[in-house]
Amino acid sequence: MRISELSTRTGVSAPLVKFYVREGLLPPAERTGHNRTEYGEDHVARLVLIRSLVDVGGLSLAAARRVLDAIDDTALPLAEVLGVAQGALPRPAAPASAAARDRVRAVTTARGWRVHDDNPGLEAAAAVLDGWARVGRGDLAAGLERYARAAAVVAEADLDAVEAVVQADGDRSRAAETVVVGTVLGDTLLAGLRRMAQEDASVRRYGGDPPPGSGIVTGSAGGGQGRGADGSTDDRTGDRTGDRTGDKTGDRTGHRTGHRTGDEGAGRPSDRGVELRTAGAGR
């Protein structure tokens, strides 16, 4: 196919296709005659992979090139392809503290994980612990073991997918691509599923059944104003509101946390707390 057809099929502009060829991410077209080149299905597949790594996986072009080189290197063991894929993922801007690294390492050691000290996941996890500590929520690190258990389940699923390819046809290139796609895009998949699971867990724990797309809304305890399923408000407290817009006039305010207004001072937290409830669902 000509470059125009390749562009149409993949959604990648012709100039960008040529750029990828110059940068070594995409193999050059096959020359079929004087001033004539042809692209094939392999070029289509590679372009789709490049855009997935960059657009969905968030890799830089330099990182994507390293990953693609690992896929193409038939002498590279799959375990090392995994290492290249992990190393290509974005890393924390600042190094984690030794204390945070030690705490993560203690959990992995207790679980019997065989992990090198230079595994990028160690630094990433430790950086999160440091972030929690900086905002005064170091107590959240108590859940590290539970997160590790969940991660182990996901890791087994990742490697099961690779093994299925190996057992099916023994195609090393396809298996290597599975390692890369599962690692890079899998992070994005897991984050998306986690957000949906959080919403489901909150509904199960706090009750109610929010309408599609509404999620969970917060209001003030004891009758703060909240959104109903039809978008209307339930105003039961006079000068207190829980409108999610947070943009009322006069003496009223719409802070989602149920702040008091009027004589008590706008923006002061209500002494009656914050109620987590579902949109349109009563207690």
For the domain that residue 51 is a member of, what is the CATH number?
A: 1.10.1660.10
Last residue of a domain, one of 183, 206, 229: 206
| pLDDT tens by residue, 104-159 | 999 999 999 999 999 999 999 999 999 999 999 999 999 999 999 999 999 999 99
Span 45-82, pLDDT tens digits: 999 999 999 999 999 999 999 999 999 999 999 999 99
**Model confidence band, residue 214 (pLDDT cutoffs 50, 70, 90):** low
Parent domain of 277:
211-283
Q: What is the dihedral of CA 70, 74, 76, 77, to 10 degrees?
A: 110
Check whether residue 91 and residue 185 sit in a common domain: yes
What is the pLDDT at residue 253? 39
Cα 183 to Cα 108: distance, rounded to the nearest angstrom: 19
- In tens, the pLDDT along 84-93 reads 999 999 888 8
66: which DSSP letter? H
**β-pairing, 216-220 with 274-278?**
antiparallel
Whether 15 is in a domain gets the answer: yes
Radius of gyration from C-alpha coordinates of the chain: 26
pLDDT at 221: 40
Tell the residue number behind the tokens 């009322």, with chain if given. 248
Q: Of 33, 56, 79, at which residue does a domain stop? A: 56
Helix axes 98-110, 144-169, angle to 10 degrees: 60
pLDDT band at 215 (very low <50, low <70, confident <90, very high): low
Q: Which of 57, 61, 49 is nearest to 23 (CA)?
A: 61
The answer to whether position 67 is within a domain reads no
Residues 162 and 230 occupy one common structural domain? no
Average pLDDT over residues 278-282: 40
Question: Residue 55: what pLDDT?
Answer: 92
Q: What's the mean pLDDT when you consider all of the chain?
A: 79
Kindly indicate the confidence band of residue 217, based on its pLDDT and cuts at 50, 70 and 90: low
Instruction: Indicate whether 108 and 198 sit together in one domain.
Output: yes
**Do 220 and 113 share a structural domain?**
no
Residue 236 inside a domain? The answer is: yes
Asked whether residue 133 falls in the same domain as residue 183, the answer is yes
pLDDT digits (tens, 9 = 90+) for 17-48: 999 999 989 999 888 777 788 899 999 999 99
pLDDT for position 31: 82
Residue pair 85/49 in contact by the 8 Å Cβ criterion: no
Count of domains for the chain: 3
**Sign of the Cα pseudo-torsion (73, 79, 80, 85, in order):** positive
| Residue 170 is assigned to a structural domain of this protein | yes
Which tokens is 216 given? 């969970």
> Does residue 242 have a pLDDT over 80?
no
Assigned domain for 73 exists: no
User: Is 75 a member of any domain?
Assistant: no
pLDDT of residue 220: 39
Higher pLDDT, 243 or 194: 194
Residue 239: pLDDT band (50, 70, 90) is: very low
- Single residue among 158, 186, 206 that ends a domain in this structure: 206
Task: Say if residue 166 is in the same domain as residue 94.
Answer: yes
Considering the domain architecture, whether residues 194 and 233 belong to the same structural domain is answered as no
